[in-house]
Structure 1
Amino acid sequence: MLVLYILFLALGMFALIKGADMFVSGSSSIAAIFHVPSLIIGLTIVALGTSAPELAVSTSASLQGSNEIAISNVVGSNFFNLLAILGICAVMKPMAVDNAVIKRDIPFSIIVTIIALMASCGPILMSGGFLNIDVAQHAGVVTRPVGILLVLLLIGYIATLVIAARNSKEEAEDVPQYSVLKSVVMILAGLGIIIAGGQVVVYCAKEIARAAGMTETLIGLTVVAFGTSLPELVTSIVAIKKQEASMAIGNTIGSNIFNILFILGLSATINPVEVNIASCIDMIILVVVTLIALVFSISNRRISRVEGGLMLAMYFADMAYAIVR
């Protein structure tokens, strides 16, 4: 049985790679056809599409009352997106960062994370209670009104992107163009393959982890967080190989924004999400590392290989902290 799980794990990874290739090609073609900058496509279509696994996990958890899964999935995925994916991409090839990402998208990602942090953990942060060593202690709630506010902020953000795209003089990248119908089919088929591949990888990895004697908590902190972010990872790597750095960065930052505003917002709208002290601490760390990523982006308007390596080191350090606490 273990051999079968390993075989399906490999098939799932292959599906992710092929699905991401179709997804990026279709999205790039749409960008070229409608003269939409690749950055905008990455921040919207690609970001929402690759966030589908997180959406499925968090909304299901919210419906079942598993609040900590709902929020830890979002925060954990954002860590992986920001530090691991951007770090890997930068190590592969130093990435030029679009001015709009520096001035608009990364700062907005920081702002919405702070909003979620203060809405859920504000009172206990002010009291200093988050320093309590019992990280499982209840800290606050992301209420329905806050969830609705987050979703409304997402609508406003997308509207801003659409206006920016219409006013932009930047042309889409020079990429192969297909018909609109074929491009849409490639996007939908690629997305379907990505989601299916991600589900297979997560399931098989969990079974392999159990066979290796890992605890459920450790599986959740490692396999599930990694698995639901695989679409972002594979899509960004494929985008880098296709010389679509703007799409890779847009996909990563856009996914983080979608995770907070849409996934956490929708989950809280469905059912208020309770937050413990561990999640409050994680959101504080997420704000700090996003600020660091902004500093890296501002320096020479690019993320270098060395900075990518530092981002990877920060990710592994945070994972080690999450495991031992």
Structure 2
Amino acid sequence: MFHVFCAAMGGFSDNIWLNVFFVLAGVVLVLWGADRLTEGAVSLAERMKVSQMVIGLTIVAMGTSMPEFCVSLVSALKGTPDLAVGNVVGSNIFNTLLIVGVAALVLPITILKTTVRKDIPFAVLASAALFLLCLDGNISRVDAGFLLILFFFFMGYTLFTAKSGDVPAAEEKKPMKPLVAAMWLLVGLLCLVFGSNLFVDGATTVAKTMGVSDAIIGLTIVAGGTSLPELATSVVAARKGNSGIAIGNVLGSNVFNILFILGVTGVISPMNIQGIGTVDLTVLFGSMVLMWLLSFTKYTISRIEGTLMASCYMAYMTYLIIQVMK
């Protein structure tokens, strides 16, 4: 049923202007949905007496990663594994360098010590695992099963260690009622998923007419489009001073993308990877290491550091464009 639903989201007209409309409509939906999602998530965190980081790592991260899951699963089932893996690799690079960079430019991001000691290292580990598993050009069912085991370990540990000690002081305004907060969370997630699908379908159709390969489309347009929920959610959260949601969303999405999405996709359909090179995987791993190192500077990612991260992403995009033009 989920496969049918995902497939139904594709197949838009080849009309360029109609696809431009889809792109714009998708962006509007994503931005509005991110605002609703953030409000609902913060209120739930306060009601449940857990930190915003835990909510960001779990509910928000999995919700905003639904577009990646949808695209990667359908791509693997259709026999285009380069698009599936390229989507995850590109999305994680986008998440780490551009989303964290832009969010830090909006407002410097404060990172908890527990995040630096536990959550970021696990995201680095997930990136390293993908790097090593892709060296032979294949993700087998055994490889995928290993990724899923790591995912369930991460989720179990995160929920087991969740505590109220990191919860920020309550604001003067009264939190939403649980039912209202859950409703806005769901509405926000739906807008993020449908909006990003509109964006991806429109942009991908245009790219395919230009003869761009599946791997490059996965690393750039699809990765950026499916990461719109993370970008919008993290920037909105940072603007509202909810840095726990902002950084937790990115870290949780990165772990979810690699361990769960590629794990499930690989178990269903083993993947032979051809278009994703060592450079792409090195940038993926290096971006997480860079974020980890920068987080040690007063446990804050400043605007200058955010600029550095965003600049690294633009440099990587420039490299990809040069490769396409060769």
What TM-score, normalized by structure 2, do the two folds share? 0.88
Offset of residue 155 of structure 1: 1.1
Which residue number in structure 2 is paired with residue 158 of structure 1?
155
Which residue number in structure 2 is paired with residue 128 of structure 1?
none
Offset of residue 209 of structure 1: 5.0
Distance 1:99 1:274 in 2: 39
Offset of residue 194 of structure 1: 0.9
Matched, 1:144 2:144: no
Choose the corresponding residue for 1:59, options 62, 70, 73: 73
Which residue number in structure 2 is paired with residue 33 of structure 1?
47
Matched, 1:170 2:166: yes
Return 54-63 or 180-189, whichever deviates more.
Answer: 180-189
**C-alpha contact (below 8 Å) 1:32/1:177 kept by paired residues:** yes
Choose the corresponding residue for 2:63, options 22, 41, 49: 49
Distance 1:208 1:282 in 2: 23
Which residue number in structure 2 is paired with residue 106 of structure 1?
120
SS at match of 2:296: helix
Aligned letter for 2:308? L
**C-alpha contact (below 8 Å) 2:137/2:272 kept by paired residues:** yes
Aligned letter for 2:270? P
Cα gap change, 1:91 to 1:12, in 2 (>3 Å)? same
**C-alpha contact (below 8 Å) 2:67/2:196 kept by paired residues:** yes
Choose the corresponding residue for 1:195, options 184, 193, 196: 193
SS at match of 2:273: strand
Offset of residue 220 of structure 1: 4.2
Which residue number in structure 1 is paired with residue 266 of structure 2?
268
Cα gap change, 1:280 to 1:87, in 2 (>3 Å)? same
Which residue number in structure 1 is paired with residue 12 of structure 2?
none
SS at match of 1:177: coil
Distance 1:4 1:62 in 2: 27
Aligned letter for 1:115? A
Aligned letter for 2:166? E
Choose the corresponding residue for 1:290, options 288, 291, 294: 288
Which residue number in structure 1 is paired with residue 89 of structure 2?
75
Distance 2:229 2:169 in 1: 22
Distance 2:21 2:78 in 1: 31
Let me know the Cα RMSD of the aligned residues.
1.9
Distance 1:220 1:159 in 2: 30
Distance 1:142 1:58 in 2: 13
List per-residue Cα deviations over 1:224-283 (Å, max 9, x = no partner): 121111000001111112211111000011111111100111111111122237433322
Cα gap change, 1:64 to 1:302, in 2 (>3 Å)? same
**C-alpha contact (below 8 Å) 1:96/1:245 kept by paired residues:** yes
Choose the corresponding residue for 2:231, options 225, 230, 233: 233
**C-alpha contact (below 8 Å) 1:32/1:173 kept by paired residues:** no
**C-alpha contact (below 8 Å) 1:31/1:172 kept by paired residues:** no
Which residue number in structure 2 is paired with residue 312 of structure 1?
310
Cα gap change, 1:2 to 1:113, in 2 (>3 Å)? closer
List per-residue Cα deviations over 1:135-162 (Å, max 9, x = no partner): xxxx421111221121121111111111
Cα gap change, 1:63 to 1:291, in 2 (>3 Å)? same
Distance 1:209 1:140 in 2: 25
Offset of residue 57 of structure 1: 0.7
Cα gap change, 1:33 to 1:47, in 2 (>3 Å)? same
**C-alpha contact (below 8 Å) 1:53/1:228 kept by paired residues:** yes
Identity in percent: 35
What TM-score, normalized by structure 1, do the two folds share? 0.88
Cα gap change, 1:152 to 1:84, in 2 (>3 Å)? same
Choose the corresponding residue for 2:134, options 104, 107, 120: 120
Offset of residue 6 of structure 1: 3.4
**C-alpha contact (below 8 Å) 1:141/1:275 kept by paired residues:** yes
User: What residue ranges of structure 2 are gaps of 5+ in the alignment?
Assistant: 1-14
**C-alpha contact (below 8 Å) 1:35/1:172 kept by paired residues:** no
SS at match of 1:165: coil
